[in-house]
């Protein structure tokens, strides 16, 4: 289990799940809010965008945790840190139960998608582009954040959700051990590719995003 819970503060408990926030979240939040402020007329909007990002991450993690409990597994902690969230889940060792616990996270983003698209379309038709440009830009940013999170999480790179969904599907056919082995090998290839892109693009964020893929690998008792 990653040690990131050390140095985290307890925010609240909901439906039997404790939510923790790692201290480094605040440092990166200040940095990002400052970096995004040029998009808006006031820094408050950039802070709202950052909070919206983490609200979506939080709903995604609760999707994992609640689905895991629904199928009889244990899930009692979620930690938010600068690069996203982690739900500590332990579903029953059956492919169907595991698949549902994993798929429920991205399904939250799928459910949010039409709502956010409708909100952006409505704000546009009400003329917010001119009357409330900050609110319009925020809504549009939140819609794209949701799309990006969904796309990133569905990459078939174990232990990202997409890789774990692939593993659960293989579990039905190959059995527990072999499905994990295949998913792990595919995941390692994916991580090498990801780091390659990071070096090629000289992207700090790409490099940073490969970190959670490398931690506590394989057989993760948590979901990004």
Q: Which residues contact 132 (CB under 8 A, 6 or more apart)?
A: 123
Chain position carrying tokens 């990459």: 155
- Minimum CB separation of residue 63 from Zn ion in Å reads 8
Give residues in contact with Zn ion (CB under 5 A): 105, 161, 223-224
Nearer to Zn ion, 33 or 154 (CB): 154
Nearer to Zn ion, 33 or 149 (CB): 149
Nearer to Zn ion, 104 or 143 (CB): 104
Nearer to Zn ion, 201 or 208 (CB): 208
> Could you give the angle at the alpha carbon of 45 between the alpha carbons of 111 and 116, nearest 5°?
15
- Minimum CB separation of residue 160 from Zn ion in Å reads 8
Q: Which residue of the chain is nearest Zn ion when measured via CB?
A: 105
Instruction: Tell me how far CA of residue 1 lies from CA of 15, 117, 151, 212, in angstroms.
Output: 22, 37, 25, 12
Secondary structure of the chain: what % helix, strand, coil (to 5)? Answer: 70, 15, 20
- Minimum CB separation of residue 161 from Zn ion in Å reads 4
- Minimum CB separation of residue 213 from Zn ion in Å reads 13
Tell which residue, 166, 52, 191, has the closest CA to residue 106: 166
């Amino acid at each position: 289990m990653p040690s990131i819970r050390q140095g985290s503060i307890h925010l609240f408990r909901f439906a039997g799940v404790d939510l923790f926030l790692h201290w480094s979240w605040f440092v990166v939040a200040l940095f990002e809010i400052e970096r995004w402020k040029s998009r808006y007329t006031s820094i408050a909007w950039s802070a709202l965008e950052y909070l919206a990002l983490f609200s979506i991450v939080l709903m995604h993690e609760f999707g994992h945790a609640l689905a895991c409990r629904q199928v009889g597994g244990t899930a009692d902690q979620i930690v938010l840190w600068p690069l996203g969230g982690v739900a500590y889940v332990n579903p029953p060792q059956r492919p169907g139960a595991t698949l549902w616990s994993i798929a429920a996270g991205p399904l939250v983003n799928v459910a949010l998608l039409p709502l956010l698209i409708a909100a952006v379309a409505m704000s546009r038709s009400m003329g917010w582009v001119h009357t409330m440009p900050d609110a319009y830009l925020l809504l549009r940013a939140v819609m794209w954040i949701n799309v990006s999170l969904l796309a990133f999480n569905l990459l078939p790179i174990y232990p990202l959700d997409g890789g774990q969904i692939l593993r659960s599907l293989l579990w039905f056919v190959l059995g527990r051990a072999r499905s994990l082995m295949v998913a792990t090998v595919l995941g390692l290839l994916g991580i090498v590719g990801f780091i390659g892109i990071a070096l090629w693009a000289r992207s700090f964020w790409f490099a940073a995003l490969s970190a959670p893929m490398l931690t506590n690998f394989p057989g993760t008792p948590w979901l990004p």
